[in-house]
Amino acid sequence: MTTTTPLYTGGRHAAGRPALDAPAAAQAPQAPPAVEVRRSTATRGRADIIIIIGAAVAALSLAALLTARMIPTSSLVVFVVIAYLAFLVLYGLLVSLEDDGRTVLDRLASVVVHSLAGFAMLALVFIVVFTFFRGSQALGHFNFFTSDMQQAGPLDPLTVGGILHAAAGTLIEITIALLIVVPLGLTCAVFLNETRGAFARVVRTVAEAMTALPSIVAGLFILASVVLALGLARSGLAAALAIGVMMLPIVIRASDVVLRLVPGSLKEASYAMGAPQWRTVWHVILPTARSGLTTSVLLATARGIGETSPVLITAGFGSGLNFNPLSGPMVSLPLITFVFSGSPANTMIARGFGAAAVLLALVLVLFALARVFGGRQAGELTARVQRRRAQESLRDLERFNSRNRAPVQMGSPDG
Amino acid sequence: MTTVVAAPTSGQPNPPETARKVRSAAAGADRVFQLTLRGAGLTVLVIMTTIGLFLFYRGSQALGDAGIWKFITTQAWQPSSHNFGIATVITGTLLIAAVAVTFAVPLATGVALYISEYAPRKLRQALINLVDLMAAVPSVVYGLWGFYFLQEKIIPLAKWISTTFGWFPFLGISGVDPNDPLADKTVYESSTFIAGIVVALMIMPIISSVMRESFSQSPVGEREGAFALGATRWGMIRSVVLPFGRGGMIGGTMLGLGRAMGETIAVYMLISPVFQIQPHILRSGANSVSALIALKFGAASPFELSALFAAGLALFMLTLVVNFGASAVIARTRSGALSDA
């Protein structure tokens, strides 16, 4: 009943309204209401898909004909370039048979944008896959992770030698760099947000300009200041400092942006409760922005861990395991990748790709961590943190209640 | 009013009300806290400004020996015989950066437009992450990929371009007969072109993210207005999104240019260094300031090192100028006033 009267859906009240329902029921058999067909609002129809397929087939055939018969080349790259250009022309031609010039432009722009984006994504995926594919040769040997290169010459097979010293060096260097960069960078970011005036503006401008500091210049700077002027030998510490100089502006800039997103009302609430500035920063601003700050530090770490040129200039090169950042050369994963891949021996190149794969895996893990821990808006909490906050708040309530009751209970025996 | 109410209780005339003093100077722990903050800011400022000072101090010996003008115009790099200059490497740096920007800007525009205008809403965040990840891939990995994979794939393309468009300046190669099938392929290896393409992939993410930021801020009202007037999607993009994001496009491109000029390891792995200005970008042989430093610092005598510091100073100043220009352009435009870049 109710389905045939779309205007009045009064199923529950139908019994009380026989007069209204009866004529509707009587009319129903005479003129069944037309079933409304949902209008398609899709911008692409079947004809468009056929046109795309047709243009693609024609373009591929044309390119095959041209590269096979006319242009003396057998390169896949040239084939793809010709096929792509032919596709654009043919597709435009086919669309123009039915639509006006504006539509043709629109469709062509859409194809170009889609293909550019697809090409870029494909390139990224391919670079990652290629590195792991070529690296798998070395990664298959367990000793690759557990030994250094002291016993292995350039012509030794992959069953001898490994990159343990480089992995250890990378971890030591990035740890030292983080120990310097995180406190200094975050404090500086807080400074930029908490202070007004010309000085803060100058610091912000300089820090922003330095985000694009060429990494080799960071290495040169440490070479000039720490190695040549202060007399520290080329070592892990010098490399860590060079990486730190490069990471510092990145951390400052990213944290500055994140801290700026902390709602002003939270700060004002804290000040209104009488909290001093340092308590406001420590208990309100930093926890609110924790997610974003974590992301900025992790992303800067991912950048710093992969830097080759500052390390190339400042770390020196050795083949043994060295845990002391103050003396002796300390190699890192990117540096060993660079040096090995320049070698003419095939096993060394394989080791270079293996080191690159390990480095890339490290970067991917850091990146994934940054997305897991971070990526939330300032003040947005995870379910776990929200539960914890609720429990803390409950405990506070009980504490307050017991305090309020306490004087009464203590006073009652006397009274 | 208050005086009337207050008078009966106090029984004596009120002292005239004066403005309460607002004390903004922090006291106690806050004083220490603010000093700490200031100290951190000052430390960062000192570190960043001493970079230029140290480079200048170390490089001044070589600069004084050669003279500024000779240093800029000399092509050769023989510091031991006092005949050295940065004409080759600066030109090489600019050429590689120009090739990189030529390839990266269309690619970045495509990616930025796709993410902000075409991509399905659910896919958007994943794509942004992918582009960010692309920026985090170490440059040595790009270099490996370029050297062991891309190079041989690009050579036929380079050959095709040089034979077809050889009449265009920069693209021609003299001394090679394009119709000779036995011609040596090494002519096309390790060229500015190949290095530029790899660097283009490396700077694409930064350009793209600045562009996307400014595209996605273009006002909804104006977009809807364009659609309401019957614009196609491309018509809307051309009349609203692109004009609005122009500042982001220019600024992002300049940021990418700065990155491209500073890139070291990937370029060093790909090129074979020459010390003579090489305007034919498809021909083997190229150079850049950073590659020169990476190449020569190992066996350098103190004077040669000083010359390298001078070259580093030139690179540093070049990138600084480009970057300050970029941030000025971004900040001045309508979209840039809102964005962080």
For residue A249, the domain's CATH number is 1.10.3720.10
Q: Based on the domain organization, do A95 and A181 belong to the same domain?
A: no
Q: Based on the domain organization, do A120 and A173 belong to the same domain?
A: no
Helix axes A236-260, A164-194, angle to 10 degrees: 40
Q: Based on the domain organization, do A171 and A217 belong to the same domain?
A: yes
Q: List chain A residues with CB under 8 Å of B41.
A: 188, 191-192, 195, 199-200, 203
Q: List chain A residues with CB under 8 Å of B50.
A: 221, 225
Query: Would you say residue A18 lies in a domain?
Result: no
Look at residue A308 in the predicted model and tell me its pLDDT: 87
Look at residue B278 in the predicted model and tell me its pLDDT: 76
Query: Would you say residue A366 lies in a domain?
Result: yes
Look at residue B174 in the predicted model and tell me its pLDDT: 62
Residue-wise pLDDT for A102-157, tens only, equals 888 998 999 999 999 999 889 888 999 999 998 888 888 888 888 777 777 767 77
Query: Would you say residue A312 lies in a domain?
Result: yes
Look at residue A31 in the predicted model and tell me its pLDDT: 63
Q: Based on the domain organization, do A228 and A355 belong to the same domain?
A: yes
- Look up the CATH number of domain B87-332: 1.10.3720.10
Q: Which two tokens stand for residue A243?
A: 């990486």
Q: Based on the domain organization, do A191 and A324 belong to the same domain?
A: yes
Query: Would you say residue A362 lies in a domain?
Result: yes
Alpha-carbon span B217 to A229, nearest angstrom: 48
Query: Would you say residue A23 lies in a domain?
Result: no
Alpha-carbon span A392 to A132, nearest angstrom: 47
Look at B141 and A281 and tell me if their CB atoms are within 8 Å.
no
Of B324, B339, B82, B68, give the one whose Cα is nearest residue B212: B339
Q: Are B310 and B79 in contact (CB under 8 A)?
A: no
Q: List chain B residues with CB under 8 Å of A75.
A: 153, 156-157, 160
A259 phi and psi angles, rounded to 5 deg: -65, -30
Look at residue A414 in the predicted model and tell me its pLDDT: 46
Alpha-carbon span A299 to B85, nearest angstrom: 38
Q: Based on the domain organization, do A78 and A224 belong to the same domain?
A: no
Cα-to-chain-centroid distance, residue B248: 13
Q: List chain A residues with CB under 8 Å of B290.
A: 214, 216, 309
pLDDT confidence tier of residue A86, bands split at 50, 70 and 90: very high
Q: Based on the domain organization, do A296 and A356 belong to the same domain?
A: yes
Q: Which residue has the tokens 């058999």?
A: A29
Query: Would you say residue A81 lies in a domain?
Result: yes
Amino acid at A28: A
Q: Which of residues 353-372 of A touch B (CB under 8 A)?
A: 353, 356, 359-360, 363-364, 366-367, 371
Average pLDDT, rounded, for chain A:
82
Residue-wise pLDDT for B60-103, tens only, equals 888 888 888 888 888 888 888 888 888 888 888 999 999 999 99
B191 phi and psi angles, rounded to 5 deg: -95, 170
Q: Which two tokens stand for residue A16?
A: 């009380």
Look at residue A11 in the predicted model and tell me its pLDDT: 41
Q: Based on the domain organization, do A229 and A328 belong to the same domain?
A: yes
Q: Based on the domain organization, do A243 and A295 belong to the same domain?
A: yes
Q: Based on the domain organization, do A198 and A115 belong to the same domain?
A: no
Q: Are A318 and A236 in contact (CB under 8 A)?
A: no
Show the domain range for A299. Answer: 164-391
Strand residues in chain B grouped as ranges (E): 77-78, 83-84
Q: Based on the domain organization, do A333 and A385 belong to the same domain?
A: yes
Which residues of chain B are modeled with pLDDT < 70? 1-15, 22-26, 172-185, 333-341
Closest Cα in chain B, distance from residue A111 (Å): 10
Query: Would you say residue A205 lies in a domain?
Result: yes
Domain stop point among A129, A147, A181: A129
Cα-to-chain-centroid distance, residue A368: 7
Look at B40 and A352 and tell me if their CB atoms are within 8 Å.
no
**Domains held by chain A: number:** 2
Helix (H, G, I), strand (E, B) or coil at B78: strand
Query: Would you say residue A57 lies in a domain?
Result: yes
Alpha-carbon span A399 to A138, nearest angstrom: 61
Look at A214 and B262 and tell me if their CB atoms are within 8 Å.
yes
Q: List chain A residues with CB under 8 Å of B315.
A: 214, 216-217
Interchain contact A53–B (C-beta under 8 A)? no
Look at residue B13 in the predicted model and tell me its pLDDT: 62
Q: Which of residues 325-344 of A touch B (CB under 8 A)?
A: 334, 337-338, 341-342
Look at residue A99 in the predicted model and tell me its pLDDT: 83
Q: Based on the domain organization, do A320 and A378 belong to the same domain?
A: yes
